[in-house]
Structure formats: structure tokens, C-alpha cells
Structure 1
Amino acid sequence: MNELAAILKDSKKFSRRNDLKLIERAYTYAAKAHEGQMRLSGDPFMSHCIKVAETLTSLRLDSTTIAAGLLHDVLEDTPHTKEELEEEFGEEVARLVEGVTHIGRIKFKSSEEHQAENIRKMLIAMAKDVRIILIKLADRLHNMQTLKYLPKDKIQSISTETLQIYAPLAHRLGIAKIRSELEDLSLHYLQPETYYELAQQIAEKKAQRENEIQELCRVLNNELKRAGIKAEVTGRSKHFYSIYRKMVDQRKNLDEIFDLRALRIITSSLRECYGALGIVHTLWTPVPGRFKDYIAMPKMNMYQSLHTTVLGQKGERIEVQIRTADMHRIAENGIAAHWLYKRGTDSEARFDERLVWLRQLLEWLQDLKDPKEFMENLKLDLFSSEVYVFTPKGKVIELPAGSTPIDFAYAIHTDIGNSCRAAKVNGRMVSLRYRLKQGDVTEIMTSKKQTPRRDWLDFVQTSRARSKIRHWLRVHEKIEEEPEEREEEAPRIQKQPDVQRKATSRDNVDVGIGDVSHMLTRFAKCCNPLPGDKIIGYITRSRGLSVHREGCPNVLTDDPARLLTVNWGGKIQASYPAGIRVKGTDRPHLLADILASIRELNVNINAANAYIRKDGSAVCDFVIEVTDQSQLNSIIYTIRKVDGVYSVKRSAVAGGV
């Protein structure tokens, strides 16, 4: 119970709104549910739940999240149900616990498919409620802290996944303290010899470095006080993994890397941040090109700070970070720091903006079916550090470091990317392979004759650019690869599908009945089949053969003798009505923009209907003329790019069956 008392005490410190009784009830419920269960370490299972709750408390999260953290394994490892949790703790707690539990439950054909789908589900859950991933991160942190009790192969696979997925996610969410510990633990398990060697070398130099840092802090503190700036100056230690990465990336030894001194200045106001920067640059010589203002231009994970590198009296490099206390809290706790203050405040919109990268990532990855391709693109987005570049009109575009003008073009709009033929950076022509740098003003020149090229995939950096280029190549190269002779093989007139009677005898042998052009054939309006769809025929009592899409509920029947196997025959030169339903966030000109995107494809619109729901979302129903399923998919893909649209699906055509 001492652990519970500490959680309650810390929770009460940072928010009077926290429901301490809810946390107490969750602790009691979880302890009873896990009674008798033990971890591989030999500790009671409940010790894991407590550690997860302690991490969530240290992130200053609300009582609902802390309670869900205590209960996060109840649905997975005990007989209790979501309904029981909901009755005891309410819908919100139950939903969070189910969200954490749902990640990792489904069985898949391969480990790659398993990992890809689990990560996809985790991202979707996070987009719905970011607290789910915060609980999952706290869960993973304690599992990593006790990983040594697992078999060696499990240790390797879990550590690799942590380093490739969970640590970058923590970074994307701005939670520095969880990210650094996950990275250090992963290094410890994946490369133990490197880890211990590094730890020993750092320990040997620790005393000397601390003395040097204390002297730098003393000098800086005196100058800040003389200038009337209230601030706290401390040394800033680098975690093992960041040192290791620098050694590998820069091919330097520890002495060269660890020669870097790091200071942090915490001020009481924004104005004093820039005042402190002036003091630092007066005391020591600034290193050109090493100043970054993340206060004026925050990172997407909400991080704000001034960064500068200066040369000390002996020529040593000193890295300095300057931020306010609030900025420091956000730098340590990231998106978790905003959760308590999000609801009912004008910061809610800004909070949601911080997850734009996640929604964009999900959009770009949603069409990737191959597990390898999914993981490749995911890691590309999670691992990359950021570079900020500008449009000619001054809009800031965030891209992964190493991005090219083509990545920039696709970040603006898919059509700009597809037709990108050249680029100017800072007023000068550059190669499309040029690597964009901080502050570059980038202008894209387009041409209607330009199309995406396969070799672009060799150097683009963003998953958005990769997925858009691959999609264009799949669609257009497939059309180009079709043999010209196929047109001649098709019948001159092909208005009806080729039909075979489905076997009704027990031997399940299909019996072909030849040409059925004499049979009246119509396409069902309930599901509107298109060339490319899998179809089935249904013999009606008075209207001949009705052709439906396979799986259409209207062809479920107790009389299988009335079902016919139907195949599309040859090339079909005709157009068919297709229904689509578009959902989006209501805004001025949304319907006009959707209509314009359809008209750009020279598609005939037969009907359109739009209305606004009570929740503020817009719903638009269209009936359009298309030649086949492929064209419909291209139209759906185009509409999805319209600003504000979040769902485009095929629907039934109004007017009945």
C-alpha cells in the first residue's frame, strides 16, 4: 500500500481535479484480479501494474489514465470483462483498458505481418485517444526494465522493436525521459559489451566533467544575475544511446564526442530566454550555423527551446539550451504535459494539431498491404529528425532530414509532386536530388507533361512521397503493360456477362449453359456491380437475370438453384452508375472542391446530395458514371486528397433495387 500512497500523493500535487478515490478503487480491483499471479522475475504481477501507474503519475496524467494504467492487464490476464470494468469504473476507463489490450491480440501468418498489424492498430488507437499509447509506453518501459528474465530470443526481438518503434514514438510525442530510457535499455540488451564499455569510460571521466560543468554554471549564473535575469543553470547529461549514435554516425571516439559540454538554462519568462541568449553569446563565441530557435518555430511534438553552440575559453564546444519552466515540462513530458489542461480550454485545438503528423502517417500508410513495405515506411517517418523549410509565401513545411524537393512537392499536394519537373531553392535552380537544409525557401516548377519516375524512389525520404509515387506507378504501368492484342480477343459486341449455372447436385460440378444472350439481364441497383468486381447472378421470378456483387445481402437465398456463377467477358466499352459517400469536416466550399476534383477526371456526375450532421461533419452522396472498378478507385483516391475529407467509400445508388 506504500506504493499506492505515493501515487496518490504525487497525483494530488499537480491537479486538484484528480479523482483519488477512482485510483484507490482501481488499485484494489486490480490487486484482487491479479491475486496469486506472478511475473517471471518472481515478483507479484501487481508490482508491474504499480510501476506503470507510477510512470503515468510522473507524466502528470489525469486520474482516469492512472486508473486505466493500474487495470491495463485485467482484460488480458484475468477472466474479467470490459462490461464489468465499465460498470465499476465507467466507459472512459474501460475504453482505455480495452484499447491497450486490443493491441497484440490477433494471430497472424508471419511475425512481420503480426508486427505490422499490431503497430497499425496501435497508431489507430493513438489517433482516437493518445492516452492509450501513453499507457502502452509506460507498460513497455517497465517490461524493458525487467527484460532479463525472458529467453534470449525474446529479449532480442522485444529490444529491437522497442528501439525501432516505441522509442521513436516517445520522441514523436515529445516524452524525452521515456525515450532516452527505452533507448539506453535497448542498447544494453542488444549490444551489452558496447554498453558496459561506454559506461565504464564515461564513469572514469565523470568527476572531471562535473567539475568543468560546475565552473561553467558558476560563470553563467553570475552574468545572468548581473543582468537581472532570474534563471536556473544546470549541466545537461547525455544518455548512453545518444552518445553511441554520435560515435557511430560521426565515426569518432568517445573523447571526441564526450568533449561536448552541455548546459541548460531555465528562465521565468519568454523575454528572459532571449535575454539569456544574449548573455551566452557575449560570454562565449557562437559557432556559426548552430543556432536554432524552436520557440518561434516549435517542433511538431510541441518542443520549444533555444539551442546554441559556443566556444569556451579553451576552445571547447558548449551546447546551451534555453527555455522557460513550462517549456521544460513539455520537453520532458511531451504531449502528456498538455492532457490535464486540454479539455474545455482554447488550447484543445492546438493540442489536436500536435497529432496531425499521426493522422497524416495513418493516411499515407493505410493502403500499404505488404508488411515489409508498411514497416519500412513507418520507420522512415518515426526515425527521421526534422528540417524546416519555407514555401515562397512563407509557410513552414516540416520534413524529415535529408528530404528533397520532390518530398517537399508531395507535402504541398499530390498533384504538385506528380508533375514536379524542377525546383528552385533560395532563388537558385537545384537538382531534384538536392537535400533540403534548415530555412531553405523552396519553389517547385511543374509541367503537365511530367509524371512520376521510378528512380525517384531511390532518393525520396518521406513515406508520403513514396506511397504516392508507388500508387501512380502501379496504376499507370499496369495499364501500359496490357497487350494490345487483348482488344481483338474480345467479342465485337459485349453487353452481357458470360454465365454458367451453379451446380446444385452433391458432386459440386459446374455445368456451362453457353450463350445466354436470350436471357434478360440487368445489373442490381442495390450494389451496382462494376467490371472488376466479383459478381454473381440471381434468377428473378419476373425480370430475368439480376447481376449482383458477391457478398450482396440481397442474394442470400434458401434456393441455391436460382444462383448463377457470372463472369465478366472481354473488354466492356460502357459506363455504369456508381455511388460514393464522402465524409468530411464542414467548411466553406467543401462541396465545390469535391465536385471540382471529380470533374478534373472528366467524370460525369449524375446526382449529388449534401447535408450537415449534428456533430458538425459533412456528408456528400454522389452518383457518377464510371467504366470499371479501377476508375472508381482512382476517383475515390483523388477525393481523399481534398482538404477536410476523412472518409470516401463506395455506396449504393439511390433509387432502390
Structure 2
Amino acid sequence: MPMEEKFIYTDKERELSEQIFEGFKETLGQTFYGTDLPKLREHLNKVVSDNNIHRNVFGLNPILCSLQTAAIAVKDIGLNRDSVVAILLYQSVQEGILTLENISKAYGEGVSKIIHGLIRVQILYQKTPVIETENFRNLLLSFAEDMRVILIMIADRVNLMRQIRDVENKEAQRKVSEEASYLYAPLAHKLGLYQLKSELEDLSLKYLEHDAYYHIKDKLNATKKVRDAYISSFINPVSEQLKTAGLKFHIKGRTKSIHSIWQKMKKQKCAFEGIYDLFAIRIILDSPEDKEKMQCWQAYSIVTDMYQPNPKRLRDWLSVPKSNGYECLHITVLGPDKKWVEVQIRTERMDEIAEHGLAAHWRYKGVKAEGGMDNWLASIRSALEAGNNLEVMDQFKSDLYEKEIYVFTPKGDLLKFPKGVTVLDFAYHIHSKIGNQCVGGKINGKNVSFRTELHSGDSVEILTSTTQKPNRDWLNICKSSRAKAKIRLALKETQIKDGLYAKELLERRFKNKKIEIEDSTMGYLIRKLGFKEVSEFYKQIADEKLDPNHVIEEYQKAYNHVHNLNQPKEAESAENFEFESHTTEYIKNNDDVLVIDKNLKGLDFSLAKCCHPIYGDPVFGFVTVSGGIKIHREDCPNAPEMRKRFGYRVVKARWSGKGTSQYAITLRVIGNDDIGIVSNISNIISKDEKIVMRSINIDSHDGLFSGNLVVLLDDNSKLNMLIKKLRTVKGVKEVVRI
């Protein structure tokens, strides 16, 4: 087995390391505990002597890289003791040389907490995510828990970008540069680390689009003298006026970053020469805090008196600062030689915050902001007001972490969900069909139920089955409104499909038994069987919980009951009754009159179901195709058509004697939905011993009720009396016979 190559710490690397160590003594001497630096030095020396260290993919010394990262974290961001110790020991924890427990005992819980966050973030990278998304940035922020973890990552990436200019591994250089461009630079910008953000963008451009970077850099160098001369010609007269006004200030000209110039060239589709605002003039006032706004506007007035402003380009972040705390006045004026120049006016305090963001904030009052990840990041500033250093971040937690989670698809895409969602929510987010067929899932490779709750950073895979169907319980499992809406739609579609199948099945069974389905009787039967919804009735048949044969038996009973066929020939009996004379015009060459009597022999007649005639109603007979006679009311809805088309089949009819049978009549009642309305209607019917209430079915909606009332009575005089009484009930608006 070949011997492992020994790690060589070069003299130059040792010299640089010593310089950084000495720098820590000067800048952070007061915050370090007495034994901190000696212990760290001893540990790092031991790691080297034990050969427990390896150069990274770029051939860089990881200990020196850690020291350089720590130096950036201190100088450019403002982090201190806990963060520096965490940066220097993180590699040892990753290699298994130290544990978090060791670090917690030796250096305190704050250090181990930062390292724990760095390790958690490293786990995310192992999931090979698609990291150029906003969701990944947000997941990173929530996963790290401690904001110092993110700040350390930014410092580490800035350092790495500085060191990899001449490396041979171009593929690794490209990957690191892309991440710097679309992950770390936006994070730095959100946190107000504008200098580091510009550096990351410029270095990314340098490695990713080498030709474009050097083209712009060369052009900037070539025009530097001309640009400097122009800046001087612009600044000098402004300086004189500001001094005359008694303002304390200094002015500097700032050339735009190479990256921002390149973006402008691409956006405006022009060459370098077409970009006119290559630089900005910055007027920085030394102003007391209570006079900041006044003096800024005074400077604005002086500049715009000298040079014509473009009102469309005024940006007032003085009156209303940006959500990240940025305060400044931006104006664009027409300078010498008719060139547009951007002028920024702000105070020393505003400039310090604009340049160094988070690092500068503890000295100055920031702006509080609420809501949204961007605003949340900016509001970190207000959390720092409590002390004169950044250690207050120990207590700072993302409230957004409590409201949202970010999970991975098997391909590495990141999806955002509200906290508390389950595997089933995830399935429906992917596709309705996946959700409908979901039987479970895998979280980080382990099989789980579809009820399992998801957490930030989980990798989720869905397991499906073609036999799976959604049910109502799923509405309680899902938390997202999107998933619930899809489940309701699926249930509705399933119900319609099952209902059609069940209805066809039932109609086929009825047809086989030569029974014609009457809608009103079927409706009565469905209610009698205890179903509020027709769809639920058919669903039970489809699910084989209700036997169609049982339904047919019950239907026949219901039919007999509704049509009063249980009492022999009662519905067909009546005594003598004179028919109305106006029917004669429809009866041609036929003076015979059908007398309807229960004792009538040898003649097949029955009462029509379309108009339900009762004793006392003016009636006529209609000869059917089968030879039987149907008795209809004179005002039957079908009467005009029958008389017009089949006048030869219409016969006169009258009731015989006095009515002795009871007839089922349906009344439609409509009125206001008052308390006790049903009770009042029932009392009127029950007081008349010759009227029997068979059923009452009332629906209420928006303060109105409507319903059908089925009663048994002797004749139409009883019916008319009942209708009259019902119309006197308080709240009843209309009573009609149907």
C-alpha cells in the first residue's frame, strides 16, 4: 500500500498565516479569551504534524484559506471571536478530528452552534440541488439557523474567488464562479455587503467571461486620465459652492464596477463607448444626525442650480429609505460637455452603512422592516441595535423559518410549502394524477406514509398505484389549499363517474323487471332511505354498500304507498258527480259518459299520475293505446295537447255519488323562513281528522323556504279548504297544487 503524501506547509504560507494571527491580536484582542489563540495555534500545528490535512481541489492550503476567510469576516463584515474560532476549527470537525462536544467545552456553545450550522449547509450541497433559484437562497437562510453561518459562507467564497485566478482546474473554477454569481453575490447584496457583492460579481465575470472582463478593464484603463480630468472639472465648481454654503464634506468619483458596465452593455445592446454613466460623483457630508436631511437637500439644491437635472432620474431614498436601510439622494445632471453624470448625496453615517452594511450597522440606527425574506434579512440590522458587536446574532432567529419550508424533488429542484405540509401535499403539487394515485413516499430514501409531515431540506419521492383513489379523509391530511382544491375536484369527478355507473346499473335492473322508474317516487324513496344527497345514494350502490334488488323492493313499496295502492281500488273509486259541460266540445259523436265508480266492473281505468285527479275535480277520460282509460283533470297540463291531437280518444267522465276514498295530493309551499313555520303547517293538518299528512320536505335558503307537502284527503273541497288555511299561516307566501 503506497504511503500517503505528506502535507507541506510552505514558508510563504507560514509567513502569511503568522501575519493574519498577529492581525487578530490587534483587531480582536479584547474579545478573545486568554488561552484562545495559543490553543488554536497548538491545534492547527498538531493537525499539520499529524498529517491530518489535505490541499483542496485547487491545491490550496485549507488552514491558510480558513485564516484568510476569518480575516475577511473580521475586516469587511465585522464578525469576531466566536466566528473566527468556528472558521478555524470547522475543517477539523469535518475531518472527524474534533467533535462539537469538544468544541463546546473548550470554546463555548456559540462556536459549536456556528460549526453545526456550517455542517448542515454542507449537507444541502450533497443533495446536488439546483441552486440558482430564489428558493435555494431562502432554504440556505432557514437551514443555517444562525445568520453568522451565511456571513462566513460569503467571506469564504470571496476569499476562494481571490485565490483561484491561476488554478489549472478550470471546471471547478467555473462552478465556484457560477455559484458566486447567482447565490453568494445576491446574498451579499441583501445583507448590505455591497463591496463584497461587487467583488464577487467582478471576479465571477473575470473567470466566466474572460474576454468581456478584460475588454472593459482595458477600456477603463485607457480612458482613466480623460475620466479623471472630467471628474475634476465637474467637482471643483461644486466644491466651491458647498464651501461657500458652510457645509463640511468630501467628494469622490466612483467608477462603476466592470460587472455593472457589462450588464449595461448587454441590456442596452451597445459597445463600451455607448455607456455614458461610467462613473458616479459621491458627495459625502459630515453632518450631525439631526441636520442630515436638511443638509442633503441643501447640497441637492446647489448641484441642480449649477447643472440641469433630469427629473425622471431622481431617486429619493432619504425621505423613505430602502427596506435594507440604504439612505441616499440620487440625481442625474447634465455636466460639462453635455454629458449626463449621476450624483449621489449622503452623509458619513449613510455612506458607512451603504459601503459596509451589516458590519457598520451597530454604530448607527437602522430601519426596521417587516414581512418577506428580503425585508427579514434587512431587519437583521435592527436586531443589532442591542449591543456594540455582532454577537447579538446568537439570539436572532428567522421567523420565516417557522412559516415556510423548502424541500427537494428527486431531480434536485426546490419547492416552497407552508410549514406542516405532508407527503400528499407534495404529490398534488407535482401533478393532480400523482396526487390521486399517491400511496406513500420516500423521505431521504426511507419509506413513509403519505400522512408524514415534511421538513426543510427533505428529499421527497412519491410512490403511486393505479388502483389508488382519493377519499374525503385526504382533505384532513393535506394542509395546502392547492392540494385540497385538487382533491375536491377529484372526488367530484369520481362521484359523477360512479353515480352515472350506478344509475345505469339500477335502470338496467328495473328494465329487466319491466318496472318503469317514476322520478317523484324515486326521490321519495331516496329520502326515505335516509339520503340527503342523490349522489350519495348512487355512490353507495357503486360501492356495493346498497343492493339494487333491495332498492327495487323498496321502490315498489314506496310506489304503492305514494299512489295509495295498498288499499284495494281506493284510488279508483268515487260516487256520482256531474261532469262539467265544457268538455263536450272535444267529444265528437259520442254522448256516452264514463261514470267513475269503485264498483265498476269490466272496465280498466286508473287515475293519471301527471295531474293526480281527486273526487270533486272536473275530469275527462283518455283511452290509452293498451285499451285502458286514464282519468285526467280538466286543467291537466297535458289536456290541451291530448284534445288537439287525439280528440277522438277523449271521453266524458264524472264521479259517481260521494267520494269515499283518500287521494295523495302534493302541495308546493313557499314563504319566509320563520321559526316554527313547519310546526304551524303540521298543526293545521293534524287538527283535521279527515286529512293525513304523508310527508313534508322543506329546504331553506337565504331566509326563504320552499317545500313539498304530500297529504291524503277525500275530495277537492277538502283540498281547497286546506289551501285556504295554509295561506293564513304567518310567513307563507304561496300554496299551489302540483
Q: With structure 2 as the length reference, what TM-score do the two structures score?
A: 0.48
What displacement does 1:260 show?
3.8
Does structure 1 residue 301 correspond to structure 2 residue 324?
Answer: yes
Aligned counterpart for 2:260 among listed residues 242, 264, 268: 242
* Aligned position for 2:210: 192
* Aligned position for 1:171: 189
- Shift of the 367–115 alpha-carbon distance from structure 1 to 2, 3 Å rule, reads closer
CA distance in structure 2 between the partners assigned to 1:34 and 1:115 by the alignment? 39
CA distance in structure 2 between the partners assigned to 1:261 and 1:172 by the alignment? 23
CA distance in structure 2 between the partners assigned to 1:156 and 1:124 by the alignment? 27
Secondary structure (helix, strand or coil) at the match of 1:236 reads strand
* Aligned position for 1:334: 357
- Shift of the 64–82 alpha-carbon distance from structure 1 to 2, 3 Å rule, reads same
* Aligned position for 2:82: 64
What displacement does 1:276 show?
1.7
After the TM superposition, which residues 131-142 of structure 1 pair with which residues of structure 2 at under 5 Å, given as runs?
Answer: 131-142=148-159
Whether the 8 Å CA contact 1:294–1:303 is kept in 2: the answer is yes
Whether the 8 Å CA contact 1:236–1:263 is kept in 2: the answer is yes
**What amino acid maps onto 2:350 in structure 1?**
M
* Aligned position for 2:702: none
After the TM superposition, which residues 233-382 of structure 1 pair with which residues of structure 2 at under 5 Å, given as runs?
Answer: 233-269=251-287, 270-338=293-361, 366=405, 369-370=408-409
Aligned counterpart for 2:98 among listed residues 63, 80, 90: 80
TM-align CA RMSD: 4.1
Whether the 8 Å CA contact 1:11–1:57 is kept in 2: the answer is no
* Aligned position for 1:29: 43
**What amino acid maps onto 2:281 in structure 1?**
L
Secondary structure (helix, strand or coil) at the match of 1:105 reads helix
* Aligned position for 1:489: 542
CA distance in structure 2 between the partners assigned to 1:245 and 1:344 by the alignment? 34
Whether the 8 Å CA contact 2:154–2:184 is kept in 1: the answer is yes
What displacement does 1:237 show?
1.7
What displacement does 1:280 show?
1.7
CA distance in structure 2 between the partners assigned to 1:345 and 1:182 by the alignment? 25
Deviates more, 1:30-39 or 1:315-324: 30-39
Q: With structure 1 as the length reference, what TM-score do the two structures score?
A: 0.53
CA distance in structure 1 between the partners assigned to 2:317 and 2:132 by the alignment? 38
**What amino acid maps onto 1:174 in structure 2?**
G
CA distances 1:451-497 after superposition (whole Å, capped 9, x unpaired): xxxxxxxxxxxxxxxx9996687566555654622466334479xxx
Deviates more, 1:143-152 or 1:78-87: 143-152
CA distances 1:431-462 after superposition (whole Å, capped 9, x unpaired): xxxxxxxxxxxxxxxxxxxxxxxxxxxxxxxx
CA distance in structure 2 between the partners assigned to 1:281 and 1:375 by the alignment? 49
CA distance in structure 1 between the partners assigned to 2:125 and 2:23 by the alignment? 41
Deviates more, 1:51-60 or 1:35-44: 35-44
Whether the 8 Å CA contact 2:307–2:334 is kept in 1: the answer is yes
Between the aligned residues of both structures, percent identity stands at: 28
**What amino acid maps onto 1:313 in structure 2?**
P
After the TM superposition, which residues 95-244 of structure 1 pair with which residues of structure 2 at under 5 Å, given as runs?
Answer: 95-105=113-123, 111-112=129-130, 119=137, 121-126=139-144, 128-147=145-164, 148-149=166-167, 151-244=169-262
**What amino acid maps onto 1:184 in structure 2?**
D
CA distance in structure 2 between the partners assigned to 1:276 and 1:114 by the alignment? 42
Whether the 8 Å CA contact 2:406–2:415 is kept in 1: the answer is no
CA distances 1:251-303 after superposition (whole Å, capped 9, x unpaired): 22211214443111211224422222222222211111211122322222222
**What amino acid maps onto 1:130 in structure 2?**
M
Whether the 8 Å CA contact 1:8–1:23 is kept in 2: the answer is no
What displacement does 1:220 show?
2.2
Does structure 1 residue 92 correspond to structure 2 residue 110?
Answer: yes
Secondary structure (helix, strand or coil) at the match of 1:320 reads strand
Whether the 8 Å CA contact 1:75–1:81 is kept in 2: the answer is yes
What displacement does 1:240 show?
0.9
**What amino acid maps onto 2:497 in structure 1?**
E
- Shift of the 259–359 alpha-carbon distance from structure 1 to 2, 3 Å rule, reads same
CA distances 1:102-122 after superposition (whole Å, capped 9, x unpaired): 212367665549999975652
**What amino acid maps onto 2:47 in structure 1?**
A
- Shift of the 485–43 alpha-carbon distance from structure 1 to 2, 3 Å rule, reads closer
Secondary structure (helix, strand or coil) at the match of 1:104 reads helix
- Shift of the 373–216 alpha-carbon distance from structure 1 to 2, 3 Å rule, reads farther
What displacement does 1:89 show?
0.8
Whether the 8 Å CA contact 2:314–2:330 is kept in 1: the answer is yes
CA distances 1:543-589 after superposition (whole Å, capped 9, x unpaired): xxxxxxxxxxxxxxxxxxxxxxxxxxxxxxxxxxxxxxxxxxxxxxx
Whether the 8 Å CA contact 2:407–2:415 is kept in 1: the answer is no
- Shift of the 54–289 alpha-carbon distance from structure 1 to 2, 3 Å rule, reads same
Deviates more, 1:105-114 or 1:58-67: 105-114
Aligned counterpart for 1:51 among listed residues 46, 68, 71: 68
CA distances 1:30-49 after superposition (whole Å, capped 9, x unpaired): 45435554345555322101
**What amino acid maps onto 1:71 in structure 2?**
L
CA distances 1:162-218 after superposition (whole Å, capped 9, x unpaired): 211111111111101111111111111211121122222222112211221133222
CA distances 1:351-396 after superposition (whole Å, capped 9, x unpaired): 99x9xxx958767862665488965989xxxxxxxxxxxxxxxxxx
- Shift of the 222–107 alpha-carbon distance from structure 1 to 2, 3 Å rule, reads closer
- Shift of the 137–31 alpha-carbon distance from structure 1 to 2, 3 Å rule, reads farther
CA distance in structure 2 between the partners assigned to 1:6 and 1:301 by the alignment? 32
CA distance in structure 1 between the partners assigned to 2:84 and 2:28 by the alignment? 13
What displacement does 1:133 show?
0.4
- Shift of the 475–279 alpha-carbon distance from structure 1 to 2, 3 Å rule, reads farther
Secondary structure (helix, strand or coil) at the match of 2:337 reads coil
**What amino acid maps onto 1:490 in structure 2?**
D
Number of residue-to-residue matches in the alignment: 402
Whether the 8 Å CA contact 1:167–1:182 is kept in 2: the answer is yes
- Shift of the 20–40 alpha-carbon distance from structure 1 to 2, 3 Å rule, reads farther
Whether the 8 Å CA contact 1:294–1:304 is kept in 2: the answer is yes
* Aligned position for 2:430: none
What displacement does 1:227 show?
0.8
Deviates more, 1:94-103 or 1:61-70: 61-70
Secondary structure (helix, strand or coil) at the match of 1:233 reads strand
Secondary structure (helix, strand or coil) at the match of 2:250 reads strand
- Shift of the 16–260 alpha-carbon distance from structure 1 to 2, 3 Å rule, reads same
CA distance in structure 1 between the partners assigned to 2:346 and 2:21 by the alignment? 29
What displacement does 1:140 show?
1.1
After the TM superposition, which residues 431-442 of structure 1 pair with which residues of structure 2 at under 5 Å, given as runs?
Answer: none
* Aligned position for 1:641: none
- Shift of the 373–321 alpha-carbon distance from structure 1 to 2, 3 Å rule, reads farther
**What amino acid maps onto 1:181 in structure 2?**
E
Secondary structure (helix, strand or coil) at the match of 1:304 reads coil
CA distance in structure 2 between the partners assigned to 1:10 and 1:271 by the alignment? 41
